[in-house]
Amino acid sequence: MAAPGSALREGIDNIVHSRTGGLIVIGDPDEVSFLFSGGIPLDMDYTPAMLYQMAKMDGAIALNGPATKIVCANVQLVPDPTIVSSETGTRHRTAERVSKQTDALVVAISQRRDVVSLYLGGMKYILQDIPAVLAKANQGLATLDKYRARLDAVAGRLTRLEFEGGCVLYDVLSVLQRAELVTRMGVEVERYIIELGTEGRLIEMQLEETIVGVAADKTALIRDYSVDDTEENLSTTLAAIARLPHQDLLDFGRLAELLGYDRKMNTLDFPVSPRGYRVLGRVPRLPKLVVQRVIREFGGLEEILAANDEALESVESVGETRAKEIREGMRRLQEVDLVDRYLES
């Protein structure tokens, strides 16, 4: 609501530039009106210019939940004085208490320091200047590019080992770790994009291009190598990985445990075989249901690669055409891997 390009942000910026300061309460009038004392009832359509004019008065300004109406102005807010506040200024202390006592979003604009503070549920966030947020977003994108390049490198190595039948658990966990790091860095950049509003469109396009396919690959990786291949286990594992502290994410023993393996095992010496979700998921126009049926029929990627045409065609919903597409798709993946290895050498 307060991002650049929004009507509310335009009104806030007008108040900042005028150095009048202000206190804005945004919420359902029926739920916050018990805090009001005095004021001028308005019930008029919101415009940035009108918000600026209302801020010239000393009291707070009340907007409805969507910030489309100015409910009243020049209001004195009377929150519960026993609510603990870490703020020192009268305006900011009132804003923090109101946010703790109600579900309203409260905006406190400092008169002298040009600082805009948002309060919601007792939490405080200070709006930063657009150039500062842009710099952080670009720095995050640069880091994300490095993470993605490393992820592509370890994922390509894992694919090669899958075709050769030489995977160990360490290779799998390396890809899983890198995929989660890319996901987390993407979330970090997305926060900056939200704060940038209309100014963050180009960064959002770059972010989407950088993280495309990561979530699907991470899901397929877990289905390929987790001990228990069920939808319930997949959801549980994804949630557990997302909740891992950063330090635990660097611990391969902890990651192995989430996949159902013994935490103390030597991941460098433990051979594993993929079920085939990652490889079949890259075959163009192959539905997920068909992928599941092929894997259920053969049990693993090694058996799928060894299967003849008749065996593939006999799987439900596959047939002659799809069997040929599966063969061609896997062959192209192997050829791409061979080209990459040649270029690397």
Examine residue 116 and state whether it is found in any structural domain, yes or no: yes
The values of phi and psi at residue 297, to 5°, are -75, -40
Q: How far apart are CA 141 and CA 188, in angstroms?
A: 9
CATH number of 135's domain = 1.20.1260.110
Whether 238 and 333 map to the same domain: the answer is no
Last residue of a domain, one of 273, 288, 317: 273
Examine residue 1 and state whether it is found in any structural domain, yes or no: no
- Residue with token string 């202000």: 22
Whether 91 and 37 map to the same domain: the answer is yes
For residue 128, the 8-state DSSP code is P
Q: How far apart are CA 295 and CA 275, in angstroms?
A: 6
User: Residue 84: how many CB atoms within 10 A of its CB?
Assistant: 8
Whether 118 and 56 map to the same domain: the answer is yes
Examine residue 2 and state whether it is found in any structural domain, yes or no: no
Q: How far apart are CA 109 and CA 96, in angstroms?
A: 13
Whether 142 and 104 map to the same domain: the answer is no
Q: How far apart are CA 200 and CA 207, in angstroms?
A: 10
Q: How many structural domains are present in the chain?
A: 3
Whether 322 and 247 map to the same domain: the answer is no
> Which residue segment(s) compose the domain that 342 sits in?
275-345
Whether 160 and 292 map to the same domain: the answer is no
Whether 141 and 254 map to the same domain: the answer is yes
Whether 159 and 195 map to the same domain: the answer is yes
Examine residue 252 and state whether it is found in any structural domain, yes or no: yes
CATH number of 24's domain = 3.40.1700.10
* Residues of the chain with confidence (pLDDT) below 70: 336-345
Last residue of a domain, one of 97, 127, 157: 127
Single pTM value for the model: 0.82
User: Is there a contact between 121 and 99 (Cβ–Cβ < 8 Å)?
Assistant: yes
Examine residue 216 and state whether it is found in any structural domain, yes or no: yes
Which segments of the chain does DSSP mark as H helices, in order?
Answer: 7-18, 29-32, 48-54, 90-101, 130-164, 169-196, 201-211, 214-225, 231-243, 246-249, 252-258, 277-280, 288-298, 301-306, 309-313, 319-344
Whether 47 and 145 map to the same domain: the answer is no
Whether 269 and 294 map to the same domain: the answer is no
CATH number of 281's domain = 1.10.150.20
Last residue of a domain, one of 273, 296, 322: 273
- pLDDT for the residue 327: 87
Instruction: Enumerate the β-bridge partners of residue 25.
Output: 62, 106
- pLDDT for the residue 27: 95
Whether 258 and 299 map to the same domain: the answer is no
Examine residue 163 and state whether it is found in any structural domain, yes or no: yes
Whether 341 and 315 map to the same domain: the answer is yes
